[in-house]
Structure formats: C-alpha cells, structure tokens
Chains A and B, each alone.
Chain A
C-alpha cells in the first residue's frame, strides 16, 4: 500500500512531520501553494493568495519549531474566508465595495491563529457579503465544486469548503449566519462546525447579521476541525457578545478513551426530528442519513424521535432578521471612509446612492431593500417583531428537545450541490434549501456537518448534528467516533476530476 500523500494527511500527522523535522513549514506551505497554482484556476476557491507572505510566515514558524516553541497549529497552512480582516492584506468580502480594501487590522480570530503560528496561504472566495447559499454571487466569480466542476460548492463559505475538499489547504475558517459553514461542508464532502454563538469573536469579521453571525471551522475530519476551533475560540472584550468562559481543548477532548471500546457512543441519545424528514425528500439523502443513524446505533448511541414543531418557520424568520440586521450593518458602506466611491456624482446623496449601487451586487441590494422594508414604520411589528417572537418559539423547541436527547441529527441540506446558475432566476428557491441549518443560528446553538454518503451523480451528502449550548466537544467526539468507524471523510475528489477542472 502506498502511503497517503502529505497534502492528504490529517493535521495531527502534519504536526508530527513538522516536529520530527521530516518536513519544514516552508516546504509544506510551498506544496500547498503549488496545489493552489495548479488546481485553483478550475475551482476559483481563492480571491487572494500571497505566496511571499505565506513563505515568510512559514519561515517564522520553522524558527519557532527549531526553538521547540510549538503549539498545535505552528507551521500548519490554513486559509481564511475573505470575511475575516487581515492586516496589510486585501479583504474584500467578495464585494466590489471592498475590492480595494487592504485591512488596517486583524480580526480577533486572525490574531489568535497568528499567535498560534499558523501559516496564512490566502483568502477564500464566498458569496458577496456572505449573502447566499452557493458562492455564486461573488464579485470574483463563482466557486466550482471539486467533486463536479459546473456545480456549486455551497455557500456562503464555498471557497473555504472547496479548498479543503480539494486539499489546496488542510484547514480553513468560515462564517455561518444561516448555514454558511455547514451547508458548503456538506456540498463539498468535508466536516464543518459552527460553534455556540459567542464562542468565536466577531471582531474583524465583516458583519452580515450580528445576532446570527458566528465564525466556524472546516477540516477533512472532526479531528482537524477540533484543532482549528480550539485555536479560534476565546473571550474578546472587543466583541460585546463574546462569552467569557475558559477555552476548551476540543482536540484533547475527542481523544478521551471510551469506557466501552466496542460501543464508544453508549449512553449518547440522538434525537431525530420528524420535521427534518418530510415527504418528498430526496430518497438518496434520506437513505444516506438513515444509514449514518444506523451506524451511530451500532456505535452504541440510542436514537429517538423528537419534535421541533416551529422549525418549519425558520427560513422566513431567519431571513427577516438577517435582512433587517444587514440593512443596518451595511449602511457603513457609504464611499466616504473606505471602499468603493463612484467616479461621478451630483451631490452627497447621489454619491452615497451611486457608490452603494455600483459597489453591491443584485442579491445584496435586494436584501438591503427587504431589510429596510421590514424595519420601516407600519411594518416593523408584523415582520421584524413577529420574527423575533417566532425566534423564541424555535429556541424553546430546542430547549424541550434537549431535555430528551443529547444531540439532534438530520440531513444538513434537503438537496446536494446544484448546477451553477440553476437557482439564479428565483432567489427564494435557494433560501428554501437552508431549512435545516437556519433554526440552529436562530437559537444560537452549535451545529456540525459531516459527510455520510454520495448521490447517484457522485455529489456528497452531509449529516447535520446539532448540540445544546457549549456541547462542541460532544459534537466533535460523536463525529470522531463515527469517522473512526467509517470512511466517508477519507473520500476525495479524484485528481482527474480536479485536472479536468483545470485543462
């Protein structure tokens, strides 16, 4: 058997190779940068790649390794979704509005990962301003799915998910407002986790909807996600919603030996909401998720039915709240202090309007208009206030469900990756695909997606696990046990596919 190539290795193996001086961080960064050079033209997963900067960070990491000052991610290459501000580096949010924005500061997440010694290879492509479920609305063009070019990678963190799936980078950050980490993880066949709201600082993460936005982590496995998430969390006084609690070592937590090795998930109760398996749901997705649940049972977990009666309203509720918060958050882009300013204008009002309409794409402008409407006089109570009341009912559903189970499971998405452009004529159709992920953001709970199969076209299917507040270790442990017993997370798009994407 030939050993797995280094680009395909888990982060723990890269750590051992770096510490054992089998490979240097500079060599590792070069290897992944070369893969980006070869395969990214067909994927469009990156907006910015800064080779010199990456190699300088890798040299610094090698010096730290030589001094034995290593931390788990020292010298490990990673990529940031282009929603995270990186000092001295272009930070666009995939919008023309910020296409000239070189951030003067680092997001909190970026400074934590810098301190950890991780090597920044670049900034990944996404839906403009994180508004979308397919990474097609980017000013820099759509991201392709590495499993089938011509299909979407999911969104809004599609670039990060595609890059990890194609092994252009071992791990990457994302952000999740209504499913933007979990859904692209499912579409690209990798693992992605959105933690409890408040665990990852939003400082320097360009805001879409402040009460829903949360940073998250992508990796090939729960183990890789655990390493990245542990390094991203921690209290930050600069984010007023950051939670002041001790940082957990998820990577250590998932390695804790189970009392019963044959049934490592004995004692775990998984709740399955009937609402997540409606009539008419794709047979392949249903079958893959049911097979995964059977595997969880085989590992010792018990599975029982739970009810989330209000979850069906999560899409309108989440979109009303997100669009309202977006219309307010995006008012900062005015062409005065930074970002795009129109070349010609009659007066100040005209300058605002032209700069914003030139700077934002159609979907972003639609969401700003809809958000302005739901906040406007005479409509606020019927839309925004009603959405906030329903938000409480949805959160209460989860509270009741978690009295009866430890984790909730179901499909991450009712569909697999669709063809590029297939949903362009009807944005609402795309919103509907967020049915299983949006309730989690409304409640502020942690959620994870891991691969559990493929459809007939060879496109990945994801299983979503939802946990109670602060149950990230339990989510990652359950996934890790599943992945120790199965091989879905080891499947990769074949190089031929990637090469086809890059003739």
Chain B
C-alpha cells in the first residue's frame, strides 16, 4: 500500500519534522521500507499474545523516599535558553 505525499506530510507534522525538501524521495524511501514490512502480513497470528518485551517483568516498586538531589542549575546550563529556573520558548499564548 503506497503512501501519498499528503500522508507523508501528515506524518512529518505528527513527528514535528519540517516538510522534507523533496517529498517524493522521502515517500519513495518510506514505500520501500513498507514493501519490506508487508512480508509480515503473510503469517496468521490469530491467538498469538503480542510480546512487548524480552523479559516479562513486573514493574519494580521502590520505597517512597527522596533519592535524588536537585540539579536544576546543572541541567539548565545545557538549555539553549533558560532564565530564572525556567526554560524559555516562543510565546504560546498571546
């Protein structure tokens, strides 16, 4: 099932990627990936439990105690723009 250019542009929007310069090339490359993936459809998997993880582990719980110390200043030093403990982004609400 080949993708349309509109579908590729919609995926780019969903993934927060700029529209590719050449949508046709991106679409063709994605089509060849999905042509490979189509092989999966030949197997009947009715009644097979999906396997989401190699080790079927229950989520581990820990004591409800403080384990980390604040390192906001260290982390915010990496930000493109931070001020007064806040990450700055373009205005969202007018």
Contacts and interface: CB of A to CB of B under 8 A. Distances in A.
B78 A369 contact: no
Given A366-B26, A427-B29, A349 B16 contact: yes
B12 A369 contact: yes
A250 interface: no
Nearest to A316: B37
B58 to A, nearest CB: 10
Contact of A373 (B30, B39, B78): B30
B32 A104 contact: no
A350 B50 CA distance: 37
B69 interface: no
Interface stretch (A168-176, A219-227, A385-393, A491-499): A385-393
A317 interface: yes
Q: Which of B33, B39, B79 has the most CB of A within 10 A?
A: B33
Contact of B78 (A102, A350, A370, A393): A102
A160 to B, nearest CB: 23
B65 interface: no
Q: Which of B15, B75, B92 has the most CB of A within 10 A?
A: B15
Size category, B interface: 35 or more
A387 B40 CA distance: 7
A357 B18 contact: yes
Q: Which of B18, B20, B37 has the most CB of A within 10 A?
A: B37
B56 to A, nearest CB: 10
Given A337-B78, A347-B90, A387-B40, A241 B33 contact: no
A453 interface: no
B17 A335 contact: no
B79 A337 contact: yes
Interface string B24-38: 001001101111111
Interface in B49-69: 49-55, 57, 59-60, 62
B80 interface: yes
Interface residues of A, number: 68
A241 B55 contact: yes
Contact of A385 (B50, B54, B60, B75): B50
Given A335-B80, A390-B45, A369 B52 contact: no
Nearest to B49: A392
B68 to A, nearest CB: 10
B17 A390 contact: no
Contact of A391 (B51, B75, B81): B51
A444 to B, nearest CB: 2
Q: Which of B39, B41, B53, B75 has the most CB of A within 10 A?
A: B53
Contacts, number: 161
B84 interface: no
Contacts of A373: 3, 7, 11, 30, 34
A442 B12 CA distance: 28
Nearest to B20: A365
Nearest to B54: A444
A350 B87 CA distance: 17
A92 B42 CA distance: 40
Interface string A279-322: 00000000000000000000000000000001001011101100
B54 A366 contact: no
A232 B23 CA distance: 44
Contact of A313 (B3, B18, B43, B80): B43
Given A336-B79, A348-B92, A390-B43, A428 B32 contact: yes
A139 interface: no
B55 A444 contact: yes
B79 to A, nearest CB: 5
A101 to B, nearest CB: 7
A376 B14 contact: yes
Contacts of A313: 39-40, 43
A382 B41 contact: yes
B15 to A, nearest CB: 5
Given A104-B74, A240-B59, A337-B78, A393 B48 contact: yes
A319 B33 contact: yes
Contact of B50 (A240, A319, A388, A442): A388
Nearest to A211: B53
A317 B40 CA distance: 7
A372 B14 contact: yes
Contacts of B11: 369, 372-373, 376
Nearest to A333: B16
A319 B71 CA distance: 37
A459 B87 CA distance: 50
Nearest to B8: A369
- Nearest 9 CB-CB pairings of A with B: A444-B54, A388-B50, A357-B18, A392-B51, A341-B80, A389-B45, A338-B78, A389-B48, A352-B16
18 contacts: A102-B78, A241-B55, A313-B40, A319-B36, A338-B79, A353-B17, A365-B17, A366-B33, A373-B7, A386-B41, A389-B48, A393-B45, A395-B51, A427-B32, A428-B33, A444-B54, A444-B55, A445-B54
Given A104-B75, A198-B55, A431-B33, 9 more contacts: A317-B40, A319-B36, A336-B79, A336-B87, A338-B75, A373-B3, A388-B50, A389-B48, A390-B48
Interface of A: 101-102, 104, 197-198, 211, 237, 240-241, 243, 310, 313, 315-317, 319-320, 327, 331, 334-338, 341, 345-354, 356-357, 360, 365-366, 368-370, 372-374, 376, 382-383, 385-393, 395, 426-428, 431-432, 442-445
